[in-house]
Amino acid sequence: MPKVEVVAIEELQRLIDQDKIVAGILVELEGDLSGYLQVLFPARSAFTLVDMLMGRTNGDTKSIETDMERSALMETGNILASSFCSAIADFFHTTLMPTPPSFAFDMMGAMVENAIIAVAQMQMTDQIILFRCDFKDEKELTIRGYILMFPSFDAVKRILSVLQGMVGDGEG
Amino acid sequence: MGKDSYYVGIGEMKVTHNPHQLIIMGLGSCIGLALYDRNAKVGGMAHIMLPESAGRCRCSTKRSCKFADRAVPILVDEMLRHNAAKSRMVAKLAGGASLFTTMDTLRIGEKNAEMVKEKLRQEGIKVVAEDTGGNYARTIKLDTCTGRLSVKTKDGVRVI
């Protein structure tokens, strides 16, 4: 089960390890819940994932350099982002379309900063929805991942109105 | 005297003096602007997010340095309050990268760097060193004893 938190932008800057190297996938969200979605794997988890996906012995991958390695991580992130989007879209009875992903392997602080800026460009929001998840395979190898949703102001309004509607239905 | 390190968060600024140092971690398309007065050994840093405030003045005083057009004069004023002289101030900047191709079209990093340099020109402050652009993150550190700015990337460190 993922841990879900709603955090303010300024808290997020303190919460994360800004210098830490992570593999990050960024998609833009289109539809009623616009904004950005980011999937992050800490370097060690990213290496383990590449080992699994490319049939290597656990511990073989020590850096992300080739296009194959980048694309393996990008696809995994993309699949996660897409299933996340369809789950959210179902729940809120709305549409949520992720754009094709882009990938970076670099400092976590810079990746998060990028999405904060992009959302600020559209419409100021100061809240971010952060999901922390651990994935385990049959050999109990743990992959740690973070899914960060940066909703636009319109998306936050939409989420709140749907939630209010649900509460209203309950009372009726 | 102890040597302290101050971390400058997004949209914030800080001015200090020798022997302390100023740090911004994980700069992406933001700009880290460092001002320095060699005689007074006073240094300041701003963590700038976007080029123009364009009427968006809802920002709190704590994060008054979100926008380049406002950040530059604010940082200069704070330097003056710490006994730095405008005639001796020099600027170094780093950051303004573009990490994700999804966001290339916005060219935020590039626009940030342009606006910061334009504002510095208006203030009459010379840019003596710059390490901007590219597609990688930077962690920067200003040493107020020497005015040197170290720029760390995932591949190594250089000093500008």
Q: What is the CATH number of the domain that holds A10?
A: 3.40.1550.10
Average pLDDT over residues B65-70: 87
- Average pLDDT of chain A, as a whole number: 81
Instruction: Using the predicted structure, report yes or no on whether residue A169 has a pLDDT greater than 90.
Output: no
CA distances in angstroms from A72 to A54, A69, B60, listed in the order given? 8, 5, 42
pLDDT value for B129: 95
Burial of A131 (C-beta count, 10 Å sphere; 0-12/13-18/19+): middle
Decide: helix, strand or coil at residue B133: coil
Report whether pLDDT(A17) > 50: yes
Contact check, Cβ <8 Å, A113/B26: yes
pLDDT per position as a tens digit, B10-32:
888 999 999 999 999 999 989 99
Question: CB of B31 within 8 Å of any CB in chain A?
Answer: no
Domains in chain A: how many in total? 1
B48 touches chain A (CB under 8 A): no
CATH topology of domain B5-159: 60s Ribosomal Protein L30; Chain: A; (3.30.1330)
Nearest-CA residue of chain A relative to B103?
Answer: A118
Is residue B74 within 8 Å of B135, Cβ to Cβ? no
Q: Domain of residue A124: give its range.
A: 3-171
Burial of residue B74 (CB within 10 Å: 0-12, 13-18, 19+) is: middle
Q: In B, which residues are within 8 Å of A105 by CB distance?
A: 154
A153 touches chain B (CB under 8 A): no
- The tens digit of pLDDT for each residue in A96-107 reads 888 888 999 999
Taking an 8 Å cut-off on Cβ atoms, the answer to whether B99 and A120 are in contact is no
Q: Of A57, A78, A145, A65, nearest to A108 (Cα)?
A: A145
Active site residue B30: yes
pLDDT of A171? 47
Q: Is it the case that residue A132 has pLDDT exceeding 60?
A: yes
Answer whether B56 touches A (CB < 8 Å).
Answer: yes
Residues of B in contact with A13 (CB under 8 A): 9-10
**pLDDT at residue A172, rounded to an integer:** 39
Task: Please report, for chain B, the start and end positions of each structural domain, with discontinuous segments joined by +.
Answer: 5-159
Compute the average pLDDT of residues A136-158.
78
CB-nearest to A104 from B56, B100, B108 is B100
